[in-house]
Amino acid sequence: MKKIIVYFTAIFVMTAVHTLAAPEVNEIVKKANNASYYQGDDGKAKVIMTITDRQGRKRIREFIILRKDKTDGGDQFYYVYFKKPSDVRKMVFMVWKHPGKDDDRWLYLPSMDLVKRISASDKRTSFAGSDFFYEDVSGRSIDEDSHKLVEETGQYYILNSIPKNLETVEFASYKIWIDKKSHLPVKAEYLNKSGKKYRTVEALDIKNVQNLPTVIRSRVTNYESGSVTVLEFKDIRYNLGLKANIFTERYLRRAPGVARR
């Protein structure tokens, strides 16, 4: 009888641990998402993007990125205005982010005076010829993947995430390192469907901006193409009181002053 009681007690404890584990992992993911994409009520930054190909040839792009949140962890607006070089000057990328469903994305091509809708199937394609994807700009919805805590160190939570719909993405899984103190993801390694690492995203430098931990330099390495893209964020400001009408189609062809300065 004593053995039976011990057995059922062990089953109960294991079940309780399993029940508590999922919400804990989901909370880690939620905090990491908020730290990455929802600092302050809105934000602005100047971004220098350097793309280096396998032969060491470099292309540099400069743009302004604006963000406004409707709710923390919820809907957001993004506006990206390209300033340099001349072949992309005045190009605009705009996102209405809707966690839990497909985002709305627009691209304005000034050379053709064309506004193009970016379909959901194109979100995992190159952003402005770089190793970042369109989806990387506003972030991937945390509900699109299943997350599991696989390791914990003194500094990091290490999670393994698997997409719920493999047909919509080019990767099979990714492992992500989340800093316990700042909640910011500092590294993500993506495996292709053959189980081989093909892409790494890293935060190279993090600083406090207006008392908010902020990535000011990041890098994507594409092991298949041999290409590397580095983003440097400058003049970062939060809580500017950006107006919602900035993030509308009327400003795709004519950028607002806050984006051009």
Which domains, and CATH codes, for the chain?
2-260 (2.50.20.10)
pLDDT band at 121 (very low <50, low <70, confident <90, very high): confident
Map 45-83 to HEC letters. Answer: EEEEEEEECCCCCEEEEEEEEEEEECCCCCCEEEEEEEE
For residue 148, the cross-strand partners are 160
Phi then psi for residue 233, to 5 deg, are -105, 125
pLDDT at position 23 is: 54
Distances (CA, A) of 160 to 22, 26, 89, 150, 240: 13, 12, 39, 6, 36
Q: Supply the DSSP symbol for 41.
A: S
pLDDT tens-digit map of 202-252:
999 999 999 999 999 999 999 999 999 999 999 999 999 999 999 999 999
pLDDT (average), residues 164-180: 95
Tell me the pTM: 0.88
What is the token pair recorded at 52? 């280096």
Residue 23, classed as helix, strand or coil, is: helix
CA-based nearest residue to 182, from 32, 37, 75, 45: 32
What is the token pair recorded at 149? 């805590």
Backbone region of residue 65 per phi and psi (left: phi > 0; alpha: psi in -120 to 50; beta: other values): beta
